[in-house]
Amino acid sequence: METDELNGGEDLGVIESTPEATGTPVEPELAGGNFIKVSARGNVKAIAGKIAHSAREGDPPAALCIGAECINLAVKAIAISRTYLTGDNMDLSFQPAFRDADRSKKSLALYMAKTKSRAPISTVDDVEMPIGSQSKPQVVAGALAARVREQRAVCLTAIGIDAVSNAVLAIGNARLYLEQDRKDIRAMPSFVQVHKNGRDLNAVKFSLVVENI
């Protein structure tokens, strides 16, 4: 399925990039060129197929995103690629990192991994934190970091483009807040349904794995 989507001649909204081909400064981790730029116009299933293919062949790429729509698309692509990799006994997680010193700007790199290099503390959801379109990422990050310090497992749920973007920004900020505690977070996105205002709505769930560093 992924191969057909990759080779069907569609505009995937993904631009293969090398350090010389982009005007954005490239972090040392990206200097090898193993990253993709995600466009808001992208085909989410085709992007997911590309991620899964890269994971099977070696290391999954980092996804570079600017803006809420791109972040939302990249997260959904990762969630779909996780389902593509089930039969290969692989799974994916990601860690968001800010690409601009001004963390209010939605310029992120989502670093994906198919294996966990650090020992997890817990993977059982204990506290669910709903994230909305008006949620303030740094406030959510503070609450998330506090739960992690209490050794309570947390998952985030988000409905809609802005809510998904806010959740990812919150995870990125929480990672910075937890550096002095020598802890880090990985996110594993999936699709779920939540009951809200008498309706069942599609949402993205971020299961978080907390690790010692």
Specify burial of residue 150 (Cβ count, 10 A radius: 0-12, 13-18, 19+): exposed
Please tell me the predicted confidence (pLDDT) of residue 125: 56
Please tell me the predicted confidence (pLDDT) of residue 19: 33
User: Token pair of 187, please?
Assistant: 């996110």
* Strand 154-158, strand 127-131: pairing: parallel
Mean model confidence pLDDT for the chain: 83
What pTM, to 2 d.p., does this model score?
0.82
Residue 113: HSE in the Cβ half-sphere, 13 Å Cα cutoff: 11
- The answer to whether the beta carbons of residues 76 and 167 sit under 8 Å apart is no
Three-class DSSP category at 132: coil
Q: What is the pLDDT of residues 27-72, one digit of tens each?
A: 555 555 788 999 988 899 999 999 999 999 999 999 999 999 999 9
The lowest-confidence range among 17-21, 143-147, 155-159, 170-174 is 17-21
Q: pLDDT above 90 covers what percent of the chain? A: 63
88 and 180 inside one domain: no
Residue 67's CB is within 10 A of a number of other CB atoms, namely 17
Picking from 113, 131, 150, the residue at the C-terminal end of a domain is 113
DSSP string covering 87-118 = GGT---EEEEEESSSSTTS-EEEEEEESS--S
48 and 108 inside one domain: yes
Structurally, how many domains does the chain consist of? 2
Q: Which domain holds residue 187?
A: 120-212
Please tell me the predicted confidence (pLDDT) of residue 105: 86
105 and 22 inside one domain: yes
CATH number of the domain enclosing 137: 3.30.110.20
84 and 145 inside one domain: no
Please tell me the predicted confidence (pLDDT) of residue 47: 94
Angle at 121 (CA atoms; ends 114, 172), nearest 5 degrees: 60
Whether residue 22 has pLDDT greater than 60 = no
Q: What is the pLDDT of residues 91-141, one digit of tens each?
A: 999 999 999 988 888 999 999 998 643 445 455 557 889 999 999 999 999
189 and 205 inside one domain: yes
201 and 153 inside one domain: yes
Please tell me the predicted confidence (pLDDT) of residue 112: 96
105 and 6 inside one domain: yes
Q: Residue 1, Cα to own-chain centre: how many angstroms?
A: 22
